[in-house]
Amino acid sequence: MNEKITFQQLAESLSALTGGSQNTTETFIKELFDIVSEALSNGETVRIKGIGKFAATGISDQPVLFMPDDDLADAINTPFACFEAVVLDDDISDELLIDSQSEEQEPQKSQESTDAASAINDTTDSDTQDANDKIPEEEDNSDDYTEDQQEILPEPELNEAQHIDEPEEEVTDYHDKDTECDTEQTATEESTEYDEEDDIYSEPDDGCGSKRRNTFLYILLVFIGCIAGYIIGSHYPYQTYIHTTQPMTTDTTSVSETDSVLQLPQNDTIKTDSAEIDSLPPTPQEKIIIDTIGTTRFLTTMSREYYGEMIFWVYIYEENKEKLGNPNRIRPGTTIVIPPAEKYSINKQDSASVELAKLKAMEIYAPYQK
């Protein structure tokens, strides 16, 4: 590649190819080009098969014109043999072609590296400033958030169960807990952010040991955060259940149905709603829970969940008799109302209540056992 082949090397190659001695090939090559030189000096055109045509031009700058043989020219141009001449459209201007060439060359410029270096410095500076600015902002936001939570009742959203006519005290407690949890979460988030900043600032000063320690600390905090999130997420509904002495439901469709009733508007309309809530007596008998039958969620499982015993399913059935029909053929997806335990004097501790429920079950099954 890009080597200059000498006369000896050419003779060696030719002798290796033809099988003759090197002296013979050297003599042959010398005599051949002597004849060509003499013919050119006489003004003749010489054509050698497989090599090409030599012609004397009479021009001092370019005295010989060489036209390689087609086979030779094609063999040498093999790398670009696949390309063909293309007629350019009138739409393609020279400027467009020059621009495309300059765009291809731009990435090679070294200026970008200096720009990038300065940009890195700028970003590090701005990052430090942003980090300093970010902390008080977030603290302010968290403060505002808690204040808002205390002053205004937030609209209940994403709750799995909805309670109709829930007393206001319970609602506020419920949301107080929510704010507590949220503030805890924000506190953990802030702490992780502080640690991240510590990582950033301590990196240039500290050695490898501190880097490892900070990384370990960061991973530990993330892990603790995940566990805390999981615990809060998994136990929060049950805490609410205990506090409000009401079971939670897991139906999402019922949420949408009851949203219109339960949704407490924010800000300006909050006073009127709270007044309405206050005006209603907080009678526990009016509490209604809505649930949905599922493929793995039956009346008995609901009864065990809400009343502590499976046998009390009969009262859920009684409450939704019109919808359910045959108790052994209840369709999944049916939305039902769970009556409060007080309505039917449900008490799992009381054996009389359990016996009554068994009798009720027999009554319910009687029409379908024909």
- The answer to whether 352 contacts another protein (rule: CB under 8 A) is no
- To the nearest whole angstrom, how small is the minimum distance from the Cβ of residue 104 to another protein? 13
Q: Which of 21, 23, 32, 256 binds another protein (CB under 8 A)?
A: 32
In the bound complex, what is the minimum distance in angstroms from residue 47's beta carbon to another protein?
A: 5
Of 22, 39, 301, 309, the one binding another protein (CB under 8 A) is 39
Smallest gap from Cβ 13 to another protein, in A, equals 5
Structure tokens at 164: 């109709």
Does the protein bind another protein through residue 7 (CB under 8 A)? yes
User: Which residue, 4 or 271, is less far from another protein as judged by CB?
Assistant: 4
10 binds another protein (CB under 8 A): yes
Of 338, 327, 337, 332, give the one whose Cα is nearest residue 369: 327
Contact letters (x/-) for another protein, 92-131, by CB under 8 A?
--x--x----------------------------------
Q: Which stretch binds another protein (CB under 8 A): 49-57, 166-174, 212-220, 318-326?
A: 49-57
Tokens of 135: 């902390």
Does 64 sit near another protein (CB under 8 A)?
yes
Residue 88 in the binding site for another protein (CB under 8 A): yes
**Phi then psi dihedrals of residue 194, to 5 deg:** -60, -40
Distances from the Cα of 133 to the Cα of 125, 218, 287, 331, angstroms? 12, 22, 48, 57
From the centroid of its chain, how far is CA 244?
A: 38
Closest alpha carbon to 312 in 343, 349, 358, 350: 358
- Beta-carbon count within 10 A of 335 CB: 15
Interface pick for another protein out of 76, 98, 220, 222 (rule CB under 8 A) = 76
What is the residue-wise DSSP string for 149-215?
A: HHHSPPP--S-S---TT--HHHHHHHHHHHHHHHHHHHHHHHHHHHHHHHHHHHHHHS-HHHHHHHH
278 lies in the site for another protein, by CB under 8 A: no
Give CA angle at 344 (343, 349), nearest 5°.
Answer: 115
Within 13 Å of residue 255, how many CA atoms lie on the same side as its CB? Answer: 12
Our CB check for another protein shows the closer of 21 and 118 to be: 21
Residue pointed to by tokens 């010489």: 46
Residue 103 Cβ, how far from another protein at the closest point, in Å?
16
Out of 21, 63, 231, 345, name the contact with another protein by CB under 8 A. 63
Site residues for another protein per CB under 8 A:
1-7, 10, 13-14, 17-18, 20, 25, 27-37, 39-41, 44-52, 54, 56, 60, 63-64, 66, 68-69, 71-73, 75-80, 83-88, 94, 97
